[in-house]
């Protein structure tokens, strides 16, 4: 195999791995939902109307404060409700 063919094979492999990783991340996001109303103060995952970042809610059980939970979990928690909020956190900084 010539160096050119080896380089092409390596580049193709990297592209395939990158595409697979992106598809896996997209599928992982579908397995979670945003659950609000039962979060401890300072434990929210992202922004609300009253603050711009995660961890800044000052009272327990704020109806706006939310965390990511596995899909279907939120409806099982007393006092919780599913919300759909645009999460401004860059994907590289998300945990979980």
Residue pLDDT, tens place only, 48-77: 777 777 788 888 998 888 999 999 999 999
pLDDT given at position 1: 59
* 56 part of a folded domain: yes
Residue 91 lies in a domain: no
Which residues span the domain enclosing 22?
A: 1-30
pTM: 0.57
8 A C-beta contact, residue 66 and residue 49 = no
R_g of the chain computed on alpha carbons: 19
Q: Tell me the per-residue pLDDT of 8-36, one tens digit each, with 9 for 90 and over.
A: 765 565 554 454 444 334 444 789 999 99
Q: Would you say residue 92 lies in a domain?
A: no
Into how many domains does the chain fold? 2
Q: Are residues 75 and 41 in the same domain?
A: yes
75-92 pLDDT, tens digit per residue, is 999 999 999 987 666 666
Q: What is the pLDDT of residue 53?
A: 75
């Amino acid at each position: 195999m010539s160096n050119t063919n080896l380089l092409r094979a390596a580049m193709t492999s990297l592209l395939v791995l990158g595409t697979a990783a992106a598809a896996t991340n997209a599928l992982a996001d579908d397995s979670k939902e945003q659950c609000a109303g039962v979060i401890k103060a300072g434990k929210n995952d992202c922004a609300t109307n009253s603050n711009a970042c995660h961890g800044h809610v000052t009272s327990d059980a704020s109806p706006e404060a939310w965390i990511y939970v596995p899909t279907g979990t939120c409806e099982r928690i007393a006092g919780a409700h599913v919300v759909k909020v645009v999460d401004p956190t860059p994907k590289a900084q998300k945990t979980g």
